[in-house]
Amino acid sequence: MAIILASQSPRRRELLGQMGISDFIIRPAQGEEKAAPGLSPAQLVEALSLQKGVEVAASAAPGDLVISADTVVAVDGRVLGKPHSREEAAAMLASLSGRTHTVYTGVTVCRDGDVLTEHEATAVRFRSLTPGEIAAYVATGEPMDKAGAYGIQGYGALLVEGIEGDYCNVVGLPVCRLGRMLARFGVDVLALCAQKEQMP
């Protein structure tokens, strides 16, 4: 059985490694992401992660296990994806300044036609940011490939006063939830980690 990560996100690769899953194939979905209008943020990330997982699973070998995910930031009922420009990144950060928003990640696990999709939600509180601080953070380039225009695992940690929920979810992959999902497919991640530690 091969484990396939349907994502090119370096953060998700790192988080899988932290789980003890080091032997996996990276095969990002290539199709255009589409979701029905009017979905809640939770429904949206589940729908998009499902699309990615099903697409990649269609070309997987029998027995292969596919993991896919999608993350968005939501504030005031508005979904913030990845910014398309520095100006958009600055506007996103200004809308999050001094407030609490929610990070949603949808996760899908597929194998041999069996599909499981769930989501995780984490509340993140930003401190108040000055226009100069926003400009300086945008100038680092870090916001440009991240939902909500910040990365909590990088310089963006300087913006975050606190979180309620799964930190890994804010990075892009809810490790605890994924571990429980994999167990339902017969993959005991902790047992695999123990086996690796006992190998000579």
In this prediction, residue 196 carries a pLDDT of 72
User: Which tens digit of pLDDT belongs to each residue from 121-163?
Assistant: 999 999 999 999 999 999 999 999 899 999 999 999 999 999 9
Q: What is the mean pLDDT of the chain?
A: 93
Confidence of residue 1 (pLDDT cuts 50, 70, 90): confident
With CA atoms as reference, report the closest residue to 7 among 178, 198, 196, 187.
Answer: 178
- List the chain domain ranges: 3-198
Confidence of residue 94 (pLDDT cuts 50, 70, 90): very high
Report the predicted TM-score, pTM, of the whole model to 2 decimal places: 0.91
Q: Which amino acid is at 76?
A: D
Does the CA dihedral 168-173-179-184 come out positive or negative? positive
User: Which tens digit of pLDDT belongs to each residue from 5-19?
Assistant: 999 999 999 999 999
Taking the C-alpha atoms of residue 30 and residue 49, their distance in angstroms, rounded to an integer, is 13
In this prediction, residue 123 carries a pLDDT of 98
User: Which tens digit of pLDDT belongs to each residue from 23-56?
Assistant: 899 999 987 778 788 899 999 999 999 999 999 9
- Indicate which residue of 23, 70, 114, 188 is catalytic: 70
Q: Please check whether the domain covering 3-198 is classified as CATH 3.40.50.150.
A: no
Kindly provide the b/e burial profile for residues 156-171, where b requires at least 16 CB atoms within 10 angstroms of the residue's own CB.
beebbeebeebebbbb
Confidence of residue 200 (pLDDT cuts 50, 70, 90): low
The whole-number average pLDDT for the span 73-96 is 94
- 112 catalytic? Reply is no
The whole-number average pLDDT for the span 75-93 is 94
- Cβ–Cβ under 8 Å, residues 52 and 108: yes
